[in-house]
């Protein structure tokens, strides 16, 4: 892949350049010292991947990500010096379309093996996704089906990737405090950022949002977020846990793995939502859930930051409804209310 670096610090640019140089299958496309320069360089030469800093003069990484995704979309990995100090900007950048985030590496001597292993592993994990999709693209009808059965232990599950944090915040903000079902979320994000994202989302929602721990049981009023590099799954009909299998899944945690475990284990109604994201993770799992009788929703093309995962879901006829982001929360609430009203006394 051809990789670009956007960072206002000379030493950071050199550290990132060395990390790329240690990877024979990748090359440096160009470097930029601020977001505005990066936006311009992308119009002239769009790389396969951008390593994007957040705090820069002229134009910061959030605005640069937003502009690049609107004009010349490509894969963007946020590289930040501090996780906690920049957590809000990290999630804003991911909401604007960045795929993931990683901490700025501290390099040793030139050529030292593994000097920037965390960053390099992150780049390698993204390569199949980028290779399969090529340059990202922005911006399909749906079958309108109203469930007729009453919910038994209803569960809402959501999956998201690029653009997901802001999409999730939009939905969670619109849900009432007495929302009658537990929520479980799988967002493609580095495990070290998951606790900060849970705190960030919790501050914008009437619901309690926290990371999902081993042996947690979903409960109404709480949204649980996958928080490790392993896959979140249902271990039985009411208990969450983590597993390394399948080991060959490059999306870790995988939305497909979680959705499929819900389809096979949850004893009750399920409403599943697949949001903005690059690639196809979650589409197969959404189809499995629909086949099992779940209400399934995919975000529409116009409101997706990256119309990848929901597009594949639409092509697979996995979604009962395809909705704009702003309508999903109301659909969740109304769907559950209507199904509760239909419960026999």
Per the annotation, the verdict on 281 as an active-site residue is: yes
DSSP string, 161-214: -TTHHHHHHHHHHHS-TT-SS-EEEEE---GGGHHHHHHHHHTT-SSEEEE--T
Tell me whether residue 254 is one of the annotated catalytic residues. Answer: no
Residue 277 structure tokens = 């994201």
Query: Among 26, 87, 100, 188, which one carries the catalytic annotation?
Result: 188
Per annotation, catalytic residue among 31, 161, 314, 335: 161
Q: With contact defined as beta carbons under 8 Å apart, do 95 and 190 qualify?
A: no
Q: Give the pair of three-digit tokens for residue 35.
A: 């977001």
Give the Cα separation of 235 and 246 in Å (integer): 15
Strand order in the sheet with 222-225: 208-211, 222-225, 183-187, 155-160, 270-274, 295-299, 321-323
> What pairs with residue 333 in β-bridges?
none
Residues near 94 by Cβ (< 8 Å), separated by ≥ 6? Answer: 78, 100, 101, 162, 163, 164, 165, 166, 189
Give which of 79, 332, 345, 45 is closest to 207, Cα–Cα: 332
Q: Pick the closest to residue 283 from 295, 272, 274 (CA basis).
A: 274
Choose the catalytic residue: 53, 281, 300, 314: 281
* 53, 77 Cβ separation under 8 angstroms: no
From start to end of the chain, where are the E strands?
2-6, 27-32, 49-52, 75-80, 100-103, 155-160, 183-187, 208-211, 222-225, 231-234, 240-243, 270-274, 295-299, 321-323
Q: Is position 161 annotated as part of the catalytic site?
A: yes
Active site residue ranges: 161, 188, 281
């Amino acid at each position: 892949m051809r990789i670009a670096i956007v960072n206002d610090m000379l030493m950071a640019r050199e550290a990132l350049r060395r990390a790329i140089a240690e990877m024979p299958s990748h090359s440096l496309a160009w470097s930029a010292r601020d977001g505005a320069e990066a936006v311009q360089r992308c119009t002239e030469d769009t790389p396969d991947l951008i390593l994007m800093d957040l705090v820069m003069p002229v134009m910061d990484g959030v605005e640069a990500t937003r502009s690049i995704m609107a004009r010349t979309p490509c894969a963007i990995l946020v590289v930040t010096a501090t996780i906690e100090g920049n957590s809000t900007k990290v999630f804003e950048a991911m909401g604007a379309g960045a795929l993931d985030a990683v901490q700025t590496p501290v390099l040793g001597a030139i050529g030292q093996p593994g000097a920037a292993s965390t960053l390099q592993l992150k780049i390698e994990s993204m390569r199949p996704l980028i290779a399969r999709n090529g340059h990202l693209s922005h911006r399909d009808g749906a079958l309108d089906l109203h469930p007729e059965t009453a919910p038994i232990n209803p569960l809402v599950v959501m999956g998201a990737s690029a653009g997901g944090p802001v999409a999730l915040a939009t939905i969670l903000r619109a849900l009432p405090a007495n929302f009658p079902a537990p929520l479980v979320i799988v967002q493609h994000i580095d495990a070290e950022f998951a606790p900060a994202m849970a705190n960030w989302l919790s501050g914008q929602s009437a619901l309690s949002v926290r990371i999902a721990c081993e042996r947690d049981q979903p409960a109404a009023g709480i949204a649980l977020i996958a928080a490790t590099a392993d896959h979140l799954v249902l271990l039985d009909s009411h208990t969450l846990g983590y597993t390394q299998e399948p080991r060959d899944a490059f999306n870790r945690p995988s939305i497909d793995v979680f959705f499929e475990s819900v389809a096979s284990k949850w004893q009750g109604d399920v409403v599943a939502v697949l949001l903005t994201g690059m690639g196809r993770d979650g589409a197969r799992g959404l189809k499995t859930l629909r086949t099992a009788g779940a209400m399934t929703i995919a975000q529409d093309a116009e409101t997706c930051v990256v119309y990848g995962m929901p597009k594949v879901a639409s092509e697979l006829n996995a979604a009962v409804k395809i909705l704009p982001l702003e309508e999903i929360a109301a659909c969740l609430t109304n769907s559950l209310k209507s199904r509760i009203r239909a419960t026999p006394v």
